[in-house]
Chains A and B, each alone.
Chain A
Amino acid sequence: MNESVFAFMDEDAKKEIRRTLLKAVAIPGYTVPFASREMPVARGWGTGGLQITLSLLLKRDCIKVIDQGCDGSVNAVNIRDFIASVSGVKQTFSTREATIIQTRHRIPEHKLAEGQILVFQVPYPEVLTTVEPDTEKQKQMHADSDYSKLWVLLYEDTSQFGDSRISNRYPVEVEDHYVMDPSPIPKYDIPRLNNSPALLLFGAGREKRIYAIPPYTKVEPLKFSDRPFKVETFAGKRCGRCGADNVFLDEVRQGTTSLYFCSDTEYCDSILTEQGDVTGNTESE
């Protein structure tokens, strides 16, 4: 490996990924194969997202990395440090300041803006594997926009449990054609994919797939017309640090009681800062 190359990968490799990204952007929600390369992190630890990030990086970029909403977790720190060390770009915790945000399992609470790029790390890019193991048939089903087998799962869950049992990786339909796996984000984040001003990119390193949702694209969860799409609610609960009650909360068990904290740690910090309390401990679980 040539350590002197900007952003770790050679220009040809980056170019190939950018070409794949262009195709993905041109066909929203369609998974495009790419030649996933070895990265200095194990496959399954965000190598797909990492390759996208590195291929897009410019010297003027400012990078943020979160793992389940947290900038400070070991995985997020390692990936962010690596990106900074091979490119020299600025690092940040601030959602607003970042130009590229690489994420696992969450969309930041602060609304993203035009020009920003959110890169999702994806473990399982193929939404149809649960209902159709044959990859040739999967391709045909995507081409025909034939997702009735996914609908049957929804029908069966609704019949037996009153609602879909899918808690994360909820299938979404993009621009009325392709149905895709949004990566393991909670249902809370699903409506936030719709009409996003930011470019959303998805990378699966192990499965060698890239897909995209361009800015201002229609994204809707698969749901029956006479059934509501229910997201996680935290009725009456608020963050134990900043007091926010309109965000996705993580539950932390302490003995017999439960404490709740913002899953997005930077959002939590920014609320505290606004309140003038800058002494708040930034490392909540």
Chain B
Amino acid sequence: MLLEIQNLSKVYGVSCGECLDLTGVADDSCICPVCDSVVAMNRVSLSLDGKEVLGIVGESGSGKSTLLQLIYQDQCPDNGRIFYNGFCDRHGVPLNIFEASVSECSVLRNKEMSMIYQNPRMGLNYLFSAGGNIAEKIIGAGERSYEVVRNRVIELMGRLELPTSRVDNYPDTFSGGQQQRIQIAKALSSSPKLLLLDEPTTGLDLSVQAKLLDLIKELQKEMGFAMIIVSHDLGVINHLTDVTMVMKHGCLVEYGLTDQILEDPQQPYTQLLVSSIL
């Protein structure tokens, strides 16, 4: 098991204490009728194996980005625990990542996991060169040799099919698809075991999307990292993932092998989703 998520909840706003019970699929809302708080994540449990590829689908506002941000510690939950394989306290007891200190978590963020945001502006620093952005993560993981950093930057750019001659140029001078590739090169620079992708191809031209998705799939096979990818495009989910979870109003509606979810959905909401999009 690489990742174990237990009973995770996240409420935006000052909770009345009843929000989790008063919202969800049955109530057809994620807004608490008592206190108006937004329940972005409602008691979600989930586990992920190493090298497994998990897809998250669901309508806008269903909590997909929130889940990735919680895993990446960009956000703090109101409830719940996340365990990561090998992440233990000094007695060797598995440590809930939300109970760990910032410095204990830095190894998770700098080495073990990487996040790729939908908008490259979230994931890249536009005041640094393309190479500088990739170097930042390599240096953050502890590397202090210039030659090692430089060679790894160039190797990764080549692997992402970016022009290595432009390594010292700024992200603004690259196309949208290329900026996303820079973000991926940066994310992969620490050889993470878990890659989190939040709608990585949304907003790109269709032909650019297809190529980028093929490359991500190829890299995943080659490097063997596990992946959680958020997409509202069931084609992407079908193409890339082993297992799929369907979300609505912060709740996990259905979870299973991607083939089964797409061909034989059990929940009415999933049936609607699959029939309307495919």
Contact = CB atoms under 8 A, between A and B. Distances in A.
A152 B132 contact: yes
Contact of B106 (A146, A158, A160): A146
B150 A151 contact: no
B146 A152 contact: no
A156 B103 CA distance: 26
A253 to B, nearest CB: 35
Nearest to B148: A226
Contacts of B102: 140, 143-144
B155 interface: no
Nearest to B133: A152
Interface stretch (B79-87, B137-145, B212-220): B137-145
Nearest to B106: A144
Interface string A128-158: 0001000000001001111011011001101
B269 interface: no
Given A146-B140, A224-B144, A226-B145, A155 B103 contact: no
Contacts of B129: 156, 159
A225 B140 contact: no
Contact of B139 (A140, A143, A151): A151
Contact of A159 (B131, B133, B137): B131
B114 to A, nearest CB: 14
A230 interface: no
Contacts of B148: 226
A155 B146 contact: yes
Q: Which of A143, A151, A160 has the most CB of B within 10 A?
A: A151
Given A144-B102, A160-B168, A155 B139 contact: yes
Nearest to A222: B144
Q: State the majority secondary structure of interface residues on B.
A: helix
Given A156-B128, A159-B167, A159-B168, A148 B146 contact: no
Interface in B151-178: 167-168
Contacts of B140: 146, 148
B146 A226 contact: yes
Q: Which of A145, A148, A156 has the most CB of B within 10 A?
A: A148
Contacts of A140: 102
Nearest to A151: B139
A136 to B, nearest CB: 13
B144 A152 contact: no
A227 interface: yes
Interface range, B side: 20 to 34
A227 B167 CA distance: 20
A222 B150 CA distance: 17
A148 B127 CA distance: 14
Nearest to A150: B139
Contacts of A151: 135-136, 139
A146 B137 CA distance: 11
B147 A155 contact: no
B132 A156 contact: yes
B106 A155 contact: no
B135 A152 contact: yes
Contact of A149 (B136, B145, B167): B136
Contact of B146 (A131, A160, A224): A224
Nearest to B140: A148
Contact of A227 (B128, B136, B146): B146
Contacts of B187: none
A145 B102 CA distance: 11
B149 interface: yes
A148 B106 contact: no
B168 A156 contact: yes
B181 to A, nearest CB: 19
Contacts of A225: 144-146
Given A140-B102, A156-B168, 14 more contacts: A144-B106, A148-B140, A152-B125, A152-B132, A155-B132, A155-B135, A156-B129, A156-B131, A156-B132, A158-B146, A159-B129, A159-B131, A159-B150, A226-B147
9 contacts: A144-B106, A148-B136, A152-B139, A155-B131, A155-B132, A155-B135, A159-B129, A159-B131, A224-B145
Interface of B: 102-103, 106, 125, 127-129, 131-133, 135-137, 139-140, 144-150, 167-168
Return the 8 tightest CB-CB contacts between A and B, nearest first.
A224-B146, A148-B140, A151-B139, A152-B132, A155-B135, A225-B144, A148-B139, A226-B145
